[in-house]
Structure 1
Amino acid sequence: MTAPPAAVQDSPGEEELARGLAEGDEACLAAVYHRWSALVHALAVRSLGDAREAEDVTQQVFLGVWRGRHGYRPERGAMAGWIVGIARRKIADALSARTRRLDLLTSVASAGAPLAGRHADEPSEAVLDRVLVGHALAGLPPAQQRVLRLAFFEDLTQTQIAERTGWPLGTVKSHARRGLHQLRRGLRDGPRESPREEESRVRGR
């Protein structure tokens, strides 16, 4: 069996870790991650309700630890408290980003607004990738997916979507309204596993 890295095996104290971080010792960063990443991830999951988003936040936290390592002062408190403080800020940033996505969807759904609903100065990929691509859109019924994909990815209005699909305009509006409602709920509550995903996860244990 391969022995763990010395920094982890020797269980260095916080003073040693702080000194190593300040000196740019990546082994100390690895030890810090090994010791506190589970705590950070648990905090993020509890706040965000999404394991994958929590993984991203956890990476951002320890990137913040590395970049802000010169700002840590042991005399002001334990390293765990410092890391938790960074985690809370990163979680707050993630929640703020989620709120911005909800605001975007609300503006898209407003009466008379084209479903594309983005501002000219917003890069389409930066907005759409955050709002639509992924679990929330994939979980919608096919008709709702088609309407929203045409709207967001091809910038079609509801009238143009009706012409493209051959569906009555009222049907397009209904699919758009229901789809946006599901997306808003998904972004608010966090993505949930489908029965198939849950079964695959359980089998993989």
Structure 2
Amino acid sequence: MKLYFAPLACSLATRIAFYEAGAEASYVEVDLKAKRTEGGADYRAIHPLGFVPALELEGGEILTENAAILQLVADRFPNAELAPRDPLGRARLQQWLGFIGSELHKAVYMPLMDKTAAAEVKAYALAGAGARLGWVAARLEAREFLLDRFSVADAYLFAVLNWSVVTPIDLKSWPAIAAYHARLHERPSVARAFAEERERYSLEQARRAKAAGALEAPAPAV
């Protein structure tokens, strides 16, 4: 399988899931601004909307959307126990994947990180963050993970909570979440995935800064 990702984007969750499962996969970095892969190909030929993640399966079929990809990875590698197998447990997993994707990822963090979003939009997103994160914190008060054991929902939530550092959200306001996030940082699969993508992110930012500097530099005298 081939994962199309952007450093420290929500696609980080799938990398964590692969590492947790000890699964082999290849990884192709995507420039989300240029909509190009690291090889220069037009990423919209893979995903017309230009979003990550996208997962290319062995036969060439493309699967998109984080919740779908994460559940497929969990099902492909059942020995890793990244998803419950009983109906209620699976429904609980889908509940958390849906909540993280819609109520945190899209409703809270994306508006706060969007440089083009109006101040009113950011204020609205921030106003709704407290209740949503409070609900998560209540779940984690006496639990190590969202479900009975580490699951793909934890991988997704970790990826989203990372974005707090570039928003006004301070996870210390919810001690249970802050402790949970710190615990996950120490998990080998999470630590490896995060370190690798943080390095790629730093390189990407350096390239963009260099390119911006070149554009702003005065033309040489002839």
Q: Higher Cα Rg: structure 1 or 2?
A: 1
Q: TM-score scaled by structure 1?
A: 0.30
**Bigger fraction of residues in strand:** 2
Larger RCO (CA within 8 A; separation ≥ 6): 2
Larger proportion of helix: 1
